[in-house]
Amino acid sequence: MVRRHQDAVYNLLYQITRNPQDAADLAQDAFVKAYRKLEQYQPKYAFRNWVMTIAANTAKNRFRSLARRRRAEEEHWTLRELNSAGKDDVQFAELEEALASLPVKWRTPLVLKYMEGLSYDEIAAVLKIGVSAAKMRTLRGRERLRELLAPDAALIPGTAAG
């Protein structure tokens, strides 16, 4: 169970927390919860979606403390570091920073859609929301990224420029 889904769960949690240690801790917690609730798993649903739901909920439940840590880490980023990086590095860093600044309810669907490759149906199942809500949250997340990165709109997945 863990070997098959650990990368997807970790990647989701890393994109939510923006911290490798927090993502690893949350992934471990999510798999422990999944193991403890294994009898609740219904085989008619995709196991991956079930474990991703547990991971997303684990992150959501601890997000306040993780957000405080993320803000502290982001303070270490300086303009000098961004200016010393190559153009591609700067664009990627700006995109990552903008993504990290989004509310978790918009960031998570974007990560699931564009980094994990989930469909809107799968996103809805993972987040326990309707398909239209999954589409709307993804759209609003993309729109907010577009606002944050207006000069670099070509970087935004799913936009006319990206």
Q: Residues 104-157: pLDDT tens digits? A: 999 999 888 888 888 899 899 999 999 999 999 999 998 888 888 875 455 555
User: What are the pLDDT digits (tens) for 78-105?
Assistant: 333 444 445 555 577 788 888 888 999 9
**What range defines the domain where residue 47 resides?**
1-76
Domain count of the chain? 2
Q: What distance lies between CA 132 and its chain's CA centroid? A: 19
100 and 161 together in one domain: yes
Residue 41 in contact with residue 83, Cβ under 8 Å?
no
Residue 46 shares a structural domain with residue 98: no
Q: Indicate whether 149 and 127 sit together in one domain.
A: yes
CA angle 146, 159, 46 (to 5 degrees): 105
Same domain, 65 and 83: no
pLDDT in tens, 32-48: 999 999 999 999 989 99
Same domain as 143, residue 120? yes
- Total-model pTM: 0.52
**Same domain, yes or no, for 84 and 7?**
no
- Asked whether residue 121 falls in the same domain as residue 64, the answer is no
Give the torsion through C-alpha atoms of 66, 123, 7, 65, to 10 deg. Answer: 10
How many angstroms separate the CA atoms of 118 and 46, rounded?
Answer: 12
pLDDT on residue 39: 92
Length of the chain: 162
Q: Given 76, 101, 129, which residue is the final one in a domain?
A: 76
For residues 88 and 162, state if they share a domain. Answer: yes
| Whether residue 89 sits in one domain with residue 54 | no
Is the domain of 86 the same as that of 138?
A: yes
What is the sign, positive or negative, of the torsion defined by CA atoms of 9, 10, 11, 13?
positive
* 94 and 151 housed in the same domain: yes
Contacts of 31 (CB under 8 A, 6+ apart): 1, 2, 6, 9, 51
- Write the CATH number for 134: 1.10.10.10
Same domain assignment for residues 133 and 160: yes
List the end-to-end C-alpha distance of the chain, in Å, as a whole number. Answer: 35
Question: Distance (Å, rounded) from C-alpha 63 to C-alpha 145?
Answer: 20
Best CA proximity match to 109, nearest among 92, 94, 126, 91: 126
The pLDDT value recorded for residue 77 is 44
